[in-house]
């Protein structure tokens, strides 16, 4: 089978999608169910329909674009990723997997190949945790990792519930219906940029993921006492931000001293109340992200962080409340799909690196209900989640070709 990836079409689609953003180029910001996300969804649906695929959406907005196989009742071969983007992001995170997936399907259709198993492109809702505080919302619901009841309790930063927001966006079905039936997928394969520097450093064009690291996130709410920045003398203070500062350093130290380079911890949000230069901070909210390839070690680090927060708050006489948002387990990729990806690489004499995904992806949750695999392409300097994120056209096309061949192999 000879496949042609339409490079110009793929690259121009990536540019077109990047232009649908809440920020000025080159910055991409596309928060789930925002006007730009809804516009991007509409644009994506039109692309899928133009490609001859049948589109359906579930109650949380996960979008499936289907190419029927010769046995439409057989299990499905899935591919895809997400199009939501964190504030101040770039063009490629998630998008390469969605538009690369669409291009892979188009290349297969145009080659005359006819799959036995239907092939579906899946665009997941809210892979990014920006709006509802929890990443991979769509895939958590699809896999049953998050119940409909728990999802209904989620609120955004403005206090709106997920139910209100999704209904207003036009997704009015029952959240109970989102979970996929057992055995729905024969295989799921996600193409993504690496979001790290290893492929580029080693000059290897493709990474085949063997394992996806275990992420956890928590909110730390610190309450001290506020007051006048001039009037309250230092011995009398219980400054919530000073306590938070010590906690942030304790969190960094817990990850640095875990004994493994694979442990990472980040405080990405620090909200200070009331946020006035002449007012002592009375409340602080920290958002903490902790990851590891080893679940036990990740959990030990979380306990260390919890203990540090409590001893710092006791010392400074502030109160602290830790709210665990998620603590997920790692996932293994499926050996049979890894082998199909490797065979395609070997066929084209492409070097590949077996690697761990340190970022999380929707595949982490789909792995609970299906055999999954992920294919990584390099990104410049390993940059991601920033506007200068970049993947080269050659790498994007190469990844799409290997994806297309692998979809063919597993859908026969
Ligand atoms: C996904 O965007 C992640 O934060 O790993
Ligand atoms: Mn991301
Ligand atoms: Mn992503």
**If we measure between CA atoms, which residue out of 291, 303, 322, 308 comes closest to residue 248?**
308
Q: Is 85 in the pocket of ligand 1 (CB under 6 A)?
A: no
In whole angstroms, what is the distance from residue 167 CA to residue 371 CA?
Answer: 32
Return the pLDDT at 72. Answer: 95
Alpha carbon nearest to ligand 1 atom 2, residue:
128
Return the pLDDT at 357. Answer: 97
In whole angstroms, what is the distance from residue 166 CA to residue 276 CA?
Answer: 35
Asked if 211 and 331 count as a contact pair (C-beta separation under 8 A), the reply is yes
CA of 116 relative to ligand 2 center, distance in Å: 33
Return the pLDDT at 2. Answer: 86
The CATH number of 7-213+330-411 is 3.40.630.10
In whole angstroms, what is the distance from residue 305 CA to residue 342 CA?
Answer: 40
CA of 263 relative to ligand 2 center, distance in Å: 19
Alpha carbon nearest to ligand 1 atom 5, residue:
359
In whole angstroms, what is the distance from residue 310 CA to residue 323 CA?
Answer: 13
Q: Is 3.40.50.970 the CATH number for 215-327? A: no
**If we measure between CA atoms, which residue out of 77, 76, 69, 78 comes closest to residue 116?**
69
Mutate to test the pocket of ligand 1, among 130, 140, 193, 385 (most ligand atoms within 8 A of CB): 385
The DSSP bridge partners found for residue 377 are 193
The 10 Å Cβ neighbour count of residue 324 is 11
Residues of the chain with pLDDT under 50: none
Domain boundaries, the chain: 7-213+330-411, 215-327
pLDDT, one tens digit per residue, over 245-274 is 999 999 999 999 999 999 999 999 999 999
Return the pLDDT at 21. Answer: 98
pLDDT, one tens digit per residue, over 322-374 is 999 999 999 999 999 999 999 999 999 999 999 999 999 999 999 999 999 99
Place of tokens 């993947």: 391
Same topology between domain 7-213+330-411 and domain 215-327: no
- Which is the closest atom of ligand 1 to the Cα of 128? 2
CA of 50 relative to ligand 3 center, distance in Å: 25
**If we measure between CA atoms, which residue out of 411, 328, 339, 330 comes closest to residue 373?**
339
Phi, psi dihedrals of residue 118, rounded to the nearest 5°: -60, 145
Structure tokens at 353: 């690196």
Mutate to test the pocket of ligand 1, among 88, 135, 288 (most ligand atoms within 8 A of CB): 135
Mutate to test the pocket of ligand 1, among 291, 361, 364 (most ligand atoms within 8 A of CB): 361
Return the pLDDT at 1. Answer: 77
In whole angstroms, what is the distance from residue 308 CA to residue 302 CA?
Answer: 10
Q: Residue 119: how many CA atoms within 13 Å on its side-chain side?
A: 30
> By three-state DSSP, how is residue 181 classified?
coil
Return the pLDDT at 171. Answer: 98
- Which is the closest atom of ligand 1 to the Cα of 93? 2
pTM: 0.93
What dihedral angle (degrees, nearest 10) is formed by the CA atoms of 134, 151, 37, 51? 110
Radius of gyration of the chain (CA): 22
Q: Is 128 in the pocket of ligand 1 (CB under 6 A)?
A: yes
């Amino acid at each position: 089978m000879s496949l042609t990836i339409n490079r110009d079409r793929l690259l121009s689609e990536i540019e077109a999608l990047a232009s649908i953003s809440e920020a000025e180029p080159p910055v991409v910001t596309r928060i789930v169910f925002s006007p730009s996300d809804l516009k991007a969804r509409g644009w994506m649906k039109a692309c899928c329909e133009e490609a001859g695929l049948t589109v359906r959406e579930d109650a949380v907005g996960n979008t499936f674009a289907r190419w029927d196989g010769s046995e439409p009742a057989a299990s499905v071969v899935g591919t895809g990723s997400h199009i939501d983007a964190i504030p101040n992001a770039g063009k490629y995170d998630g998008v390469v997997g969605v538009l690369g997936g669409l291009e892979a399907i188009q290349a297969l259709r145009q080659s005359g190949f006819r799959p036995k198993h239907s092939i579906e492109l899946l665009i997941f809702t809210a892979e990014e945790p920006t709006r509802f505080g929890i990443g991979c919302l769509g895939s958590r619901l699809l896999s049953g990792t998050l119940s409909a009841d728990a999802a209904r309790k989620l609120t955004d930063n403005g206090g709106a519930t997920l139910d209100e927001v999704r209904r207003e966006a036009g997704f009015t079905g029952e959240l109970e219906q989102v979970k996929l039936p057992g055995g729905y997928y024969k295989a799921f394969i996600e193409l993504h940029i690496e979001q790290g520097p290893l492929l580029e450093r080693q000059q290897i064009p493709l990474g085949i993921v063997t394992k996806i690291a275990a992420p956890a996130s928590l909110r730390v709410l610190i309450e001290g006492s506020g007051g006048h920045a001039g009037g309250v003398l230092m011995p009398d203070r219980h400054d919530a931000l000073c306590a938070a500062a010590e906690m942030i350093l304790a969190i960094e130290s817990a990850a640095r001293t875990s004994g493994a380079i694979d442990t990472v911890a980040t405080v990405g949000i620090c909200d200070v109340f009331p946020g006035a230069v002449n007012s002592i901070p009375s409340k602080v909210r920290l958002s903490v992200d902790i990851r590891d390839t080893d679940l036990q070690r990740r959990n030990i680090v979380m306990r260390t962080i919890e203990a540090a927060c409590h001893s710092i708050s006791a010392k400074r006489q502030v109160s602290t409340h830790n709210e665990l948002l998620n603590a997920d387990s790692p996932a293994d990729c499926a050996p049979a799909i890894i082998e199909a990806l490797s065979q395609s690489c070997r066929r084209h004499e492409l070097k590949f690196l077996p690697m761990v995904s340190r970022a999380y992806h929707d595949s982490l949750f789909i792995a609970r209900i299906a055999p999954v695999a992920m294919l990584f392409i390099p990104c410049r300097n390993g940059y991601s989640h920033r506007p200068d994120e970049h993947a080269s056209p050659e790498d994007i096309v190469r990844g799409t070709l290997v994806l297309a061949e692998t979809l063919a192999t597993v859908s026969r």
